[in-house]
Amino acid sequence: MNQRIGYARVSTDDQHLDLQRDALQQAGCGVIYEEAASGKNAARPELEQCRKALRAGDTLVVWRLDRLGRSLPDLVQIVAELEQRGVHFESLTEKIETGNAAGKLQFHVFAALAEFERGLIPPPLAIIRCWASRTT
């Protein structure tokens, strides 16, 4: 039986998973793996458990592409590995479904944009230094 399995992630413990969880449930995900971890960190235990649970014919569903990761190589590697195993990928916000050629193209465009967006976010230390230099 093919399953829709959700993966939800927030970057910090003080963020909430409620919006993602609700969207994944409405999208028909019976099982949802959740964690608080940075998207640039490839070592995410819940994501690993989720990937292990997926079987051919299943679909991995995320609320937004950057919840799976922000590194272009990681996103491409994860989705390629799923595809090799016969697992589909879907991102609800971007309306990406990799079950066809157009969906695969759309995935690669949005994955590149997610990495670009990550490059725009200044590291916290740089923000602190900038703020400190203005207040002294």
Q: Is 38 a catalytic residue?
A: no
Cα separation, 11 vs 99, in Å, equals 28
Whole-Å CA distances, 125 to 38, 94, 111, 116: 16, 31, 26, 20
Catalytic residue among 11, 38, 91, 133: 11
Give the full edge-to-edge strand order of the sheet including 96-97: 31-36, 4-10, 59-62, 88-91, 96-97
Active site residues: 11
